[in-house]
Structure 1
Amino acid sequence: MAIAGTKRANWKTTIIERSRRALIYEYMPNGSLEKYIYSEKPKETSGWQKLYSIAIGIARGLEYLHHSCNTRIVHFEIKPQNILLDKDFCPKITDFGLAKLCHAKVSKLSMTGARGSIGFIAPEVHSQTFGVVSTKSDIYSYGMMLLEMVGGRKNVKSVVQKSSEKYFPHWIYDHFAQEDGLHGCDVTSEVEEIARKMTLIGLWCIQIVPMHHPTITKVLEMFERDLNKLDMPPKQNFSQIL
């Protein structure tokens, strides 16, 4: 399960004993998820299986933050750089600098300004004309991260430079719909079911209207379903938020 930590490649805690304080770091030998996504290892069969386990681990961590803490925590910075991997590739959610606390019964948050990173920030966080800010905002970021894990391609380009290029979610949606499946993402037949399930869940998570996002509990239920029992989400028109 993912736990809280810092933005560095370690998890830290402070021990206080009378007048003495000690800052203890847990070393994360596998660095950040960002580095792992763009290495050659995820393109191997064993690498895809690790990615799948990492995705579920992050979802379990978010479920803890959203539903199991005494005070609900909305992270607002779910992205590969903020996921650290220990020696067993167990993911740790880090960097809570933008997080907000709210009571467990509160379903929406008041915001005085946008927060988050380009490519992962939910539309309603950028402009509340899209809906209310809530734990669903983390779901959008999680979905974008899932697609980046599958595609091995950064989604931070908000505006493409050439007419032949496409905004990342459009690109991966189109590849998913083609007969060759996700072969454009270097997905082999041995791991296609894993990649397709991650893609479907990711596409559900990035629906533009927040009320259409699944909860993180629902996301975990989707991971447990057979692929043929997951519906294809409607394609979104991201031009309205770019």
Structure 2
Amino acid sequence: MNEVAAISRTSHVNIVSLLDYCFEGSKRALIYEFMPNGSLEKFIFDASTPKNDHHNLGWETLDQISLGIARGLEYLHRGCKMRILHFDIKPRNILLSEKFTPKISDFGLAKICNTNESIVSMLGARGTAGYIAPKVFSRNFGKVSHKSDVYSYGMMLLEMVGGRRNIDIAAENTSEIYFPHWIYQRLEHGEELRLQSVTNEEDKVRVRKMIIVILWCIQTDPSNRPAMKEVIDMLEGSVDSLQIPPKPYLSSPPKSPTNSSTTLVSIQ
């Protein structure tokens, strides 16, 4: 019912449409519009898909997918009558149309608040391990706000670029276990990113732009993260106008099971 309450307030090309629902006794169902390409997750790191197969989409398509998701989030944060914070942005919750138009889905953890309400009161941390902003675990990192979705978006975009999970416990080199740390080091030193299927200068520009946006989005201090409107401006603008962000607090979090699951944990 939380999802019905949230999604029924939306109407946007990058938000999935809820056609109907059933809430009768033990019969519970949400009926979305049909999305023939399924979730973004399978194009990134589905075990049944050949390694790096997601890049068969092409960097231009991945760029447009990232921009579409950003527009959907900006609409949720600023375009609705009530501000909607999603709190569970991840590849599994992004559905793709026949033409690979991305649509944000799964509003089960969403929180609806007034548009002028910048800080949200929460009893627990909502989201999925690996995508949750640091501040939802410790108040030392700041208050919970729409910037939590910005952080999750950045972590998801990093997986889109790398074609791998951000935490890879199978990595041979320990410096490559935590992908955000590895990729920041290479960007900082001007080294090649060694990403698959980057074959021309146009793709290199797209990838560099996406990575700079990512590193702004995953800043530990929420005040350093851009709003989604700024993210859109950066993605649509020139890479030459973008500044390298401050180095966020990047370190490998404790190893956890490889399957990602939605969590709702209490904050003491």
* TM-score, structure 2 as length reference: 0.78
**Match for residue 159 of structure 2 among 148, 153, 157:** 148
**Match for residue 100 of structure 1 among 97, 111, 134:** 111
Q: What does residue 222 of structure 1 align with?
A: 234
**Match for residue 33 of structure 1 among 33, 37, 40:** 40
Q: Deviations over 1:176-202 (max 9, x none)?
A: 334443224553334111111111101
**Match for residue 20 of structure 2 among 14, 17, 21:** 14
Q: What does residue 259 of structure 2 align with?
A: none
Alignment of 1:158-237 (within 5 A): 163-190=174-201, 191-237=203-249
> Any idea what SS the aligned residue of 1:237 has?
coil
**Aligned-partner Cα distance in 1 for 2:82–2:104:** 17
CA contact (8 A) 2:181 2:251 kept: no
Alignment of 1:40-79 (within 5 A): 40-44=52-56, 47-79=58-90
Q: What does residue 111 of structure 1 align with?
A: 122
Q: Which runs of 4+ in 1 moved over 3 A?
A: 22-25, 38-42, 156-166, 177-180, 239-242
Q: What does residue 102 of structure 2 align with?
A: 91
> Any idea what SS the aligned residue of 2:211 has?
helix
**Aligned-partner Cα distance in 1 for 2:165–2:174:** 18
CA contact (8 A) 2:55 2:196 kept: no
> Any idea what SS the aligned residue of 2:58 has?
helix
Residue 58 and residue 34 in structure 1: after superposition, are their counterparts in 2 closer, same or farther (change >3 A)? same
CA contact (8 A) 1:182 1:196 kept: no
**Aligned-partner Cα distance in 2 for 1:42–1:160:** 20
For structure 1, the 5+ residue unaligned runs are: 5-10, 17-21
**Aligned-partner Cα distance in 2 for 1:221–1:97:** 29
> Any idea what SS the aligned residue of 1:115 has?
strand
* TM-score, structure 1 as length reference: 0.85
What is the RMSD of the two structures over their aligned residues, measured on CA atoms? 2.5
1:203 partner amino acid: L
Q: Identical aligned pairs, as a percentage?
A: 51
Residue 161 and residue 123 in structure 1: after superposition, are their counterparts in 2 closer, same or farther (change >3 A)? farther
Residue 210 and residue 25 in structure 1: after superposition, are their counterparts in 2 closer, same or farther (change >3 A)? closer
2:36 partner amino acid: P
CA contact (8 A) 1:109 1:133 kept: yes
